[in-house]
């Protein structure tokens, strides 16, 4: 703890305006927290919350964002969460980087800790068609989701997994420490094997 304080002090002394954007983001985030605290009781955001870009949360469902999350600008787009029913539930873990994420929820979406997202779409329904059943989306911790990718209903992503840019996941199970790529993703490749292939070359 002492080391962290010492490092922070050194940084502040070295360049006093470098941390100004962080302070602005912190103030913006706390404004957002107070706004949603008074406007909608079903939305809870834990303190502190760092906001660099717009945050829009709509709908009658339950939304929970844990502490130390931050919203960075990604393709000039912030975080937007829409819930369609009062039984819908969105849960986001600690220390997530949520830049450019769009969430549309009808049933349940869970995102684990320390997840990084780019400009991507997560929704647990395809459309409002009733023939295709609605299934929850589960994303583990420390997952990296690439740009322009879609995670649709019935997707489960394990811990430490990576989802490539432009891929579409639908009713796929991606295991721990695996890479999912393609449109649609058929099966996931373990990252350990890919790295070992690289070493031989």
Partner 1 sequence: MKEYIACLRGKLFSIKCRLFRKRVIIGNGLRMHTRLDIRGAGMVLIGRDCVIDGACGDSHQFVTLYTLNPHATITIGNHVRLCAARISSRFSVNIGNNAIIEESGIADTDFHTLEKSRELPSDERIEDCQIMIGDRVLIGPRSIITKGVSIGSDVVVGPGAIVIRSLPARAFALGNPAKIVKIIQAVEPGNEKCRSENI
Q: Which residues are near partner 1 by CB under 8 A?
A: 56, 58, 77, 80-82, 84, 102-104, 121, 123, 126-132, 148, 150, 152, 168, 170, 183-184
Closest to partner 1 by CB, 119 or 141:
119
Least gap, CB of 89 to partner 1 (angstroms): 17
Least gap, CB of 45 to partner 1 (angstroms): 17
Closest to partner 1 by CB, 93 or 124:
124
The C-alpha atoms of residue 30 and residue 140 are separated, in whole angstroms, by 27
Q: How far is CA 166 from CA 2, 3, 67, 113, 180, in A?
A: 43, 41, 29, 23, 11
Closest to partner 1 by CB, 54 or 95:
54
What is the distance of C-alpha 141 from the center of its chain? 10
Q: How many Cβ atoms sit within 10 Å of the Cβ of residue 26? A: 17
Closest to partner 1 by CB, 15 or 131:
131
Closest to partner 1 by CB, 107 or 141:
107
Least gap, CB of 81 to partner 1 (angstroms): 7
Least gap, CB of 34 to partner 1 (angstroms): 21
- The pair phi, psi for residue 133, each rounded to 5°, is -70, 150
Cβ atoms 190, 177 nearer than 8 A: yes
Q: Across the beta sheet with 89-92, what order do the strands follow?
A: 43-45, 62-65, 89-92, 108-111, 137-139, 156-157, 173-174
Q: Measuring CA to CA, which residue among 132, 142, 85 is closest to residue 109? A: 85
Least gap, CB of 70 to partner 1 (angstroms): 19
């Amino acid at each position: 703890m002492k080391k962290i304080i010492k490092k922070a002090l050194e940084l502040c002394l070295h360049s006093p305006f470098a941390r100004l954007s962080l302070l602005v983001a912190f103030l913006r985030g706390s404004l957002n927290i107070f706004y949603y605290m008074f406007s909608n009781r079903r939305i809870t955001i834990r303190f502190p919350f760092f906001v660099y870009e717009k945050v829009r949360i709509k709908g009658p469902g339950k939304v929970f964002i844990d502490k130390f999350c931050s919203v960075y600008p990604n393709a000039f787009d912030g975080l937007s969460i829409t819930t369609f029913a009062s039984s819908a539930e969105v849960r986001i873990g600690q220390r997530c980087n949520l830049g450019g994420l769009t969430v549309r929820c009808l049933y349940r979406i869970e995102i684990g800790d320390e997840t990084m997202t780019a400009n991507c779409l997560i929704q647990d329904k395809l459309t409002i068609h009733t023939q295709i059943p609605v299934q929850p989306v589960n994303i583990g911790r420390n997952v990296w989701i690439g740009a322009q990718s879609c995670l649709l209903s019935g997707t489960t992503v394990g811990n430490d997994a990576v989802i490539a840019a432009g891929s579409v996941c639908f009713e796929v199970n991606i295991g721990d420490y695996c890479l999912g790529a393609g449109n649609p993703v058929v099966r996931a490749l373990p990252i350990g094997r890919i790295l070992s292939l690289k070493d031989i070359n």
